Amino acid sequence: MDPIEIGLWVTGGLLVLVVIGMRVAFAAALAGLVGLFLIFWSKKGFDPEDIGWAVTVAAKTAGQVPHSKVASNALSLIPTFILIGYLAYYAGLTRALFEAAKKWLAWLPGGLAVSTVFATAGFAAVSGASVATAAVFARIAIPEMLKINYNKQFAAGVVAAGGTLASLIPPSAILVIYAIIVEQDVGKLLLAGFVPGAFSALVYGVLIVGIAVIFKSVGPPVGGFTWRERFAALPPALPILAVVIIIIFFVYNPFGEKAWGTPTEGGAIGAFIVFCMALYRGMRWKQLKAALLETAKLTVMIFSIIWGVLIYVRFLGFADLPGAFSDWITSLEMSPMLILICILLAYAVLGMFMDAIGMLLLTLPVVYPAVMALNGGEAVSAADSAFGMSGPMCAIWFGILVVKMAEFCLITPPIGLNCFVVAGVREDLTVQDVFKGVTPFFIADAVTIAGLIAFPQIVLWLPSLA
Amino acid sequence: TEWNVSVWGKRRAFTEHIEKLAELVSEKTGGEFTMNVSYGGLSKPKENLDGISIGAFEMAQFCAGYHRDKNRSITVLELPFLGVDNLAEEVAVSHAVYAHPAVAEEMAQWNARILMTSPMPQYNLVGTGDPRDTLDKMNGMRVRATGGIGEAFKAVGGVPTSVPAPEAYQAMESGVVDTVAFAQHAHLSFGTINQATWWTANLNPGTVNCPVVVNIDAYESLTDAEREALDSSIDESITHYLDNYGKLLAKWDEVLAEKNVQKVMISDAELENFRATAAGPIRDQWITDMSAQGLPAQELYDLLVSTLEKTRAGN
Amino acid sequence: MAGASPVLEDGSVLSWLDRKLLIVERFFGLLAGLAIFSLMLLAVRSVGGRVTLNAPLLGYVDYIEQLMPLIAVLAVSFAQRDGTHIRMDLLVEHLRGRALWLFELIGVLLILVLVVFLIWGSWAHFQRSFDFGAPLWSRDSSTDIALPIWPSKLMVPVAFSVLALRLLIQVYGYGRALILGLEAPAAVPLVMDPAAQAAAEAEMLDDVEAADGPD
Ligand code: NA
Ligand code: NA
């Protein structure tokens, strides 16, 4: 067996392990360990005498990874972002946002639903996790919509779809993970998430207004808020604005001065502001301890996949499978754009059955180099490239596209997690209800993704300034 | 025989001797002995020595300042203001120190044998805003510098910060550091020159020492012909590296002009002051600390100085 | 998918071991949580010092690089206890009884094998950075302020050893369920369908919201 063959066999074995329900993190690490062993043993011509040596070198090489690959400044953004999300509950930011959005936007047709979408988008700016966002708003927004006779299924769909925005709009753990795996600038990727996130929310909003205009029964407008009430609703939501501004300014200063620091520092300072707010709202050691334990658990879940997959990636480095896959992709007699769309469709299918973070971590080490090769390589200029953008810009663009695909997977059957969460929170709703209600938003997401492909400037404008 | 070679970043002047070595060895053995140079796929830069020790790959490059405690003896080459003027001198002093038994012994603990150095010119600063051309202005300066150079700036009140090289550009842009100390090729390949408004032409605070090592077992299990091909290619690889780097240095002034970067000359008085503050005390401290750990520190330092004198006398 | 599953408790020795180990796991989880919290404080100190006094925290990156491995592995067993580590449920969700316990057993046995090798490898990684004869026992140090790295490297095999104990409990728990054909064995995470799982997740947020104060 040559290294490429070993790479293919081990990758096949990894898929089997994942399908039979082994925890993804450990399946990837085990595949990597076995792969490393085979690679080292093959160097000695599979001589039985060298088995011991190959096992030792493989174990020691794999055993480095859980320490060395996570000892990284950029990766510290992930626990910080998760912590922000947990603290945000205690800071009472969700209710404040929904109230503010309601007072400003509820006069529109389908007003409460539009308010919900923009409140979830706002909450996305302090929350790194889509599922948590959906759960919180299922509690706050659905009762209010039902009170004024919204269609039950539609109200649930709005929340499930709105919840997905958290992974695109920074802080986003998924964007950080993407940046680390593909070794691109974390700050630029975070910046790149803002506009597509807002664009996505806008498409949702337009869709809701359209539906509400056509089907009068869906959701009536709610008027009667005075300007005084509107402005009074803003201050409790202000910490969100502070976090957004801090994260932006720590990556890029729009006034042409130096940025305030690194994304790592920005995330941590944002967390500190939300922490102070939570203290002010009455959080004490008992609640903080609960938040820290939950943050630690969610963080270790994500990091286990990271180091597990990186053991597998270390093996791929020795087997050079990504190189072989890129060569194959670029040798296809198809237009690069068509291949890219096929790749995104494959993600849509895979995402039906897998968790977003696991899916991205498992596939990107092989898929990302291939996409970069399709565009003409890491160092290609915009003029010579297949997609009309330089290598680094293509990396950012593709990142936003796959993260949007991962969001999409949160609301598609059979395992759209956000839909299950919404149904779980509301006893009067079945999962089928939520899936039915969320269907119009598939169209919205398809429009968004098509828009991001047709107009890459939506993604690239902000990061290209920095 | 096929060797895996672990380096990092992308192909640049700093890795040209390794690429040349791979080419020569393959040529001389008629393709029997090949080297597979991997840019970051096999290990993290700071773990290259660990990988050699394990036997995961056969050859690797690393820099002494990344992890002083792993390679205490060769940090003598990173002391500030040694007075090394050019790359040929850097090669001479490095190889003399590498040949010292204390160095060989420390490397052998990692199952490593040093093959050659990756000579680098003096790490001069680039920065934005007003040039930091006096010690006063360096007080409180946040500078990307590692090892002995970092120590030197600390001695005059600077704040050394070790941003990983690929992030240096962003660290400058974001104000995490005010200035970056690099060799010229790194200012070019990591883009810090694009941020800069000035470059110190004559500060010459010191450099970083980055040897190329091989796994001892792998080296010893080469056939005689292969080992001969490897050993005999080192000088030629270094020569190729020096030629290539020389071309880069020759173009450096053009690059500065093109990017509109001011060449800052620091006055002799300020330089003398800097040396007095940084060079002597840091060297003495190093000798005291390392002797306490049982290394022949004074001997290593004297070897360096005498080699430098000999090299100069020879020219 | 993500999210914890229920672990039953009863009067058996196995369940007693499970609860005792949980105490250790919760302690490690809290340590990891405090490490995350200190990331925030470090940034406040570093940025605050830089902005106000031009005195950033010397070695900021070094400290973060020391903390991250703790954050990444200390709670690994805490998360394994209740099945927080994600997986694809497509198959196991449709299994019941012995067939389910068989796949669960295979899963934890494979993880156990992996973890034994990782304990070996990460211990070796620690050993290479540790030297009784050197100052601070250090043979590997951080770049800026030369902090010894061995303490943070040591935490990895320690965390994996706790995980190995947890896996032994789970191997025994699933193995017993397989042989005896149990319905709901103690001390192992039970599979929930996505709906039940979402309900559990929502319940967890209930606890959080209850503390949400007067809004
Ligand atoms: Na977010
Ligand atoms: Na799905």
Summarised one tens digit per residue, pLDDT across range A322-360 is 778 888 888 888 888 999 999 998 888 877 777 777 788
What are A319's two structure tokens? 């087997």
Last residue of a domain, one of A266, A298, A330: A298
Q: How confident is the model at residue C211 (pLDDT cuts 50, 70, 90)?
A: very low
Torsion from C-alpha of B194, B200, B206, B212, nearest 10 degrees: 30
B146 Cβ contact list (under 8 Å, min separation 6) = B63, B65, B66, B160, B162, B208, C143, C144
Torsion from C-alpha of A313, A316, A321, A325, nearest 10 degrees: 0
Q: Are B160 and B143 in contact (CB under 8 A)?
A: yes
Distance (Å) from CA A204 to ligand 2 centroid: 19
Q: Are A352 and A412 in contact (CB under 8 A)?
A: yes
Q: How confident is the model at residue C197 (pLDDT cuts 50, 70, 90)?
A: low
Give the model confidence (pLDDT) of B249-261 as tens digits: 999 999 999 999 9
Tell whether B217 is within 8 A of chain A (Cβ). Answer: no
Higher pLDDT, A258 or C15: C15
Phi, psi at residue C125, to the nearest 5°? -65, -40
Distance (Å) from CA A122 to ligand 1 centroid: 9
Predicted local distance difference test score (pLDDT) of residue C192: 67
Torsion from C-alpha of B10, B15, B18, B20, nearest 10 degrees: 100
Rg, Å, chain B Cα set: 19
Higher pLDDT, A432 or C169: C169
pLDDT of A27 above 90: yes
Distance CA C213, CA C215 (A): 6
Predicted local distance difference test score (pLDDT) of residue A241: 82
**Helix, strand, or coil (residue C27):** helix
Q: How confident is the model at residue C2 (pLDDT cuts 50, 70, 90)?
A: very low
Chain mean pLDDT for chain A: 86
Instruction: Find the helix packing angle between C13-53 and A285-319, rounded to 10°.
Output: 90
Q: Do A18 and C76 touch (CB under 8 A)?
A: no
Torsion from C-alpha of A454, A455, A459, A463, nearest 10 degrees: 130
Angle at CA of residue A243, ends A238 and A244, nearest 5°:
95
Based on the fold, state whether residues A254 and A137 are members of the same structural domain.
Answer: yes
Neighbour subunits, C (≥3 Cβ pairs < 8 A): A, B
Please list every residue in chain B whose beta carbon sits closer than 8 Å to the beta carbon of residue C144. 146, 150, 160-162
Distance CA C21, CA A61 (A): 29
A186 Cβ contact list (under 8 Å, min separation 6) = A74, A77, A175, A176, A179, A180, A263
Chain mean pLDDT for chain B: 92
DSSP A373-432: HHHT-TT--TTTSSSSS-HHHHHHHHHHHHHHHHHHHTTSSS--HHHHHHHHH-TT--HH
A345 belongs to a structural domain? no
Please list every residue in chain C whose beta carbon sits closer than 8 Å to the beta carbon of residue B160. 58, 144
Distance CA A230, CA A413 (A): 38
Q: How confident is the model at residue C196 (pLDDT cuts 50, 70, 90)?
A: low
pLDDT of B305 above 50: yes
- ipTM, two decimals, is 0.91
- Domain containing A4 equals 1-71
Based on the fold, state whether residues A189 and A288 are members of the same structural domain.
Answer: yes
What are B295's two structure tokens? 């290394």
Phi, psi at residue C143, to the nearest 5°? -75, -45
Spans of all domains in chain C = 13-193
**Distance from the A222 Cα atom to the nearest Cα atom in chain C, whole angstroms:** 22
Task: Tell the burial category of C195 from Cβ atoms under 10 Å away from its Cβ (0-12, 13-18, 19+).
Answer: middle
Distance CA C203, CA C210 (A): 11
Based on the fold, state whether residues A145 and A244 are members of the same structural domain.
Answer: yes
Q: Do A297 and C75 touch (CB under 8 A)?
A: yes
Distance CA C138, CA C148 (A): 5
AA identity, residue C4: A
- Which residue among A57, A258, A320 places its CB closest to the CB of B56? A57
Tell whether A317 is within 8 A of chain B (Cβ). Answer: yes
**Helix, strand, or coil (residue B312):** helix
| pTM for this entry | 0.89
A222 belongs to a structural domain? yes
DSSP A109-168: TTHHHHHHHHHHHHHHTT---HHHHHHHHHHHHHHHHHHTT--HHHHHHHHHHHHGGGGT
- Which residue among B2, B40, B50 places its CB closest to the CB of A64? B50
What are A441's two structure tokens? 């938003």
Instruction: Find the helix packing angle between A173-182 and A77-90, rounded to 10°.
Output: 180
Q: Which of A177, A86, A75 is nearest to A126 (CA)?
A: A86
Task: Tell the burial category of C127 from Cβ atoms under 10 Å away from its Cβ (0-12, 13-18, 19+).
Answer: middle
A427 belongs to a structural domain? no
Give the model confidence (pLDDT) of B76-109 as tens digits: 999 999 989 899 999 999 999 999 999 999 999 9
**Helix, strand, or coil (residue B201):** coil
Number of structural domains (chain A) is 2
Which ranges of chain B does DSSP label H, i.e. alpha helix?
A: 16-28, 48-54, 87-98, 101-108, 135-138, 147-155, 168-173, 184-189, 216-220, 224-258, 268-292, 297-314
Of the CA atoms within 13 Å of residue A457, those in its CB half-sphere come to 1
Q: Are strands B124-127 and B198-200 parallel, antiparallel or unpaired?
A: antiparallel
Residue C177 neighbours by CB distance under 10 Å = 24
Distance CA A218, CA B253 (A): 70
Predicted local distance difference test score (pLDDT) of residue A82: 82
Task: Tell the burial category of A349 from Cβ atoms under 10 Å away from its Cβ (0-12, 13-18, 19+).
Answer: exposed
Neighbour subunits, B (≥3 Cβ pairs < 8 A): A, C
Predicted local distance difference test score (pLDDT) of residue C213: 36
Q: Which of B216, B252, B218, B235 is nearest to B117 (CA)?
A: B235
Q: Which of B291, A296, A200 is nearest to C39 (CA)?
A: A296
Q: Do A22 and C107 touch (CB under 8 A)?
A: yes
Give the model confidence (pLDDT) of A368-384 as tens digits: 989 999 998 888 888 88
Q: Which of A314, A191, A210 is nearest to A254 (CA)?
A: A191
Residue of chain C whose alpha carbon sits nearest to that of B150: C144
pLDDT of A26 above 60: yes
**Helix, strand, or coil (residue C203):** helix
A423 belongs to a structural domain? no
The residue to which tokens 């992930």 are assigned: A78
A432 belongs to a structural domain? no
**Helix, strand, or coil (residue A269):** helix
Q: How confident is the model at residue C201 (pLDDT cuts 50, 70, 90)?
A: low
pLDDT of C209 above 50: no
A443 belongs to a structural domain? no
Residue of chain C whose alpha carbon sits nearest to that of A37: C117
Predicted local distance difference test score (pLDDT) of residue C205: 54
A259 belongs to a structural domain? yes
Instruction: Find the helix packing angle between B16-28 and B224-258, rounded to 10°.
Output: 150
Q: Are B132 and B111 in contact (CB under 8 A)?
A: no
Please list every residue in chain C whose beta carbon sits closer than 8 Å to the beta carbon of residue B70. 139-141
Task: Tell the burial category of C214 from Cβ atoms under 10 Å away from its Cβ (0-12, 13-18, 19+).
Answer: exposed
Respond yes or no on whether the N-terminal peptide bond of residue A171 is cis (omega within 30° of 0): yes
Distance CA B32, CA B225 (A): 10
Respond yes or no on whether the N-terminal peptide bond of residue A414 is cis (omega within 30° of 0): yes
Distance CA A115, CA B75 (A): 62
Q: Which of B7, B19, B45, B65 is nearest to B238 (CA)?
A: B19
Predicted local distance difference test score (pLDDT) of residue A129: 67
**Which percentage of chain A shows pLDDT scores above 90?**
25
Residue A15 neighbours by CB distance under 10 Å = 12
Q: Do B293 and C128 touch (CB under 8 A)?
A: no
Based on the fold, state whether residues A152 and A165 are members of the same structural domain.
Answer: yes
Distance CA A171, CA A77 (A): 9
Distance CA C63, CA C45 (A): 12
- Sheet of strand B2-7: strand arrangement: B34-39, B2-7, B59-61, B212-215, B112-116
AA identity, residue C199: A
Of the CA atoms within 13 Å of residue B155, those in its CB half-sphere come to 22
Based on the fold, state whether residues A81 and A195 are members of the same structural domain.
Answer: yes
pLDDT of B58 above 80: yes
The mean per-residue pLDDT over the stretch A108-120 comes to 90
Tell whether A382 is within 8 A of chain B (Cβ). Answer: no
C11-18: which pairs have CB atoms within 8 A and are 24 or more residues apart? C12/C186, C12/C187, C14/C169, C14/C172, C14/C173, C14/C176, C14/C186, C14/C187, C15/C186, C15/C187, C17/C169, C17/C187, C18/C81, C18/C169, C18/C173, C18/C186, C18/C187
Distance CA A143, CA B296 (A): 78
Tell whether A251 is within 8 A of chain B (Cβ). Answer: yes
Distance CA B33, CA B299 (A): 38
